[in-house]
């Protein structure tokens, strides 16, 4: 029989909770951007409220990690798993904060007509939320290749961000009355870009967890 069975059960439970948190964060991002494109203030409020669930999950997972470190003193892979979970939840929590920030923009705009149809921002969000999902899959599969594939998508997000930035700047220059909304939309693009950066952090932590090697791959 294996020794330390209880510990390994707890570790498995912890990882399942992490995946649930990741799925919730991905969902938060998608709903936040949908609230913006569809000007759905009710949905935006829901996203803002649900951010508390993400925060609660982070606290819970963090507490469980610290308990395992204190009581089980994990080593080797187990140590890397616990420290990876501890790091990843911080990134996930920040991502959820950005989703909440996007929802707050929806609330601020409050059905105000959009200065342009949103195309690139939803596309950025689509790639970014798929990055989050791919990062979680890479975690589940313990796959460095999947993590690296996911991290490469960050370049696409960065390109779109640069384009959105230029476009919005042009609109604001020529139509000064759009400056308020244009600035909000710039914020949104920036939030999404930040979420993608956090997703690449997830990928870097997965690589550490699998290989024991830390490397900076983005920015």
Partner 1 sequence: MTRTSDETTPDIEVHQLSVWYGQTPALRNVNLNISAGQILAIIGPSGCGKSTFLRVLNRMIERFSDVRVEGTVRVGSFNVLDDHVDVTQLRRAVGMVFQHPNPFPMTIFDNVAYGPRIFGMRSSTQLRKTVEDSLKQAALWDEVRGKLRRGAGTLSGGQQQRLCIARALAVNPRVLLLDEPTASLDPVSAAKIEELIVQLKSQYTMVIVTHNLQQAARVSDLVAFFEQGRLIEMGNTQEMFTAPREKRTEEFLTGRFD
* CB 141 within 8 Å of CB 203: no
Minimum Å gap between C-beta 205 and partner 1 is: 14
Q: Which is nearer to partner 1, 73 or 183 (CB)?
A: 73
Contact predicate 51/96, CB 8 Å = yes
Size of the site for partner 1 (CB under 8 A): 17
Q: Tell the smallest beta-carbon distance from residue 91 to partner 1 (Å).
A: 21
Query: How far is Cα 145 from Cα 83, in angstroms, rounded to an integer?
Result: 21
Separation between Cα atoms, residue 13 and residue 18, nearest integer Å: 9
Note whether 87 binds partner 1 by CB under 8 A: no
Closer to partner 1 by CB, 183 or 211: give it. Answer: 211
Question: Across 36-151, where does the E strand assignment appear?
Answer: none
Judged by DSSP in three states, 46 sits in: helix
75 binds partner 1 (CB under 8 A): yes
Told to check if 2 binds partner 1 by CB under 8 A, we report yes
Told to check if 59 binds partner 1 by CB under 8 A, we report: no
**Contact predicate 197/157, CB 8 Å:** no
DSSP 219: -
Q: Binding partner 1 by CB under 8 A: which of 12, 67, 183, 211?
A: 211
Binding site for partner 1 (CB under 8 A): 1-4, 7-8, 73-80, 211-213
């Amino acid at each position: 029989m294996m020794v330390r069975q209880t510990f390994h059960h707890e570790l498995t439970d912890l990882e399942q909770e992490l995946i649930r948190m990741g799925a919730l964060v991905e969902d938060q991002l998608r709903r936040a951007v949908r609230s913006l494109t569809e000007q759905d203030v009710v949905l935006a409020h829901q996203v803002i409220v649900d951010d508390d669930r993400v925060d609660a999950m982070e606290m819970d997972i963090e507490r469980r990690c610290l308990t395992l470190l204190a009581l089980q003193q994990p080593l080797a892979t187990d140590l890397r798993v616990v420290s990876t979970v501890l790091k990843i939840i911080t990134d996930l929590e920040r991502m959820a904060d950005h989703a909440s920030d996007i929802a707050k923009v929806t609330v601020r705009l409050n059905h105000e007509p959009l200065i342009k149809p949103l195309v690139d921002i939803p596309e950025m969000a689509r790639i970014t939320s798929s990055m989050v999902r791919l990062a979680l899959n890479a975690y589940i599969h313990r796959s460095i290749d999947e993590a690296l594939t996911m991290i490469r998508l960050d370049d696409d997000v960065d390109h779109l961000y640069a384009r959105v930035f230029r476009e919005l700047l042009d609109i604001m220059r020529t139509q000064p009355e759009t400056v308020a909304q244009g600035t909000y939309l710039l914020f949104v693009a920036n939030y999404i870009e930040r979420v993608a950066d956090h997703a690449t952090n997830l990928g870097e932590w997965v690589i550490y967890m699998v290989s024991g090697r830390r490397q900076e791959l983005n920015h």
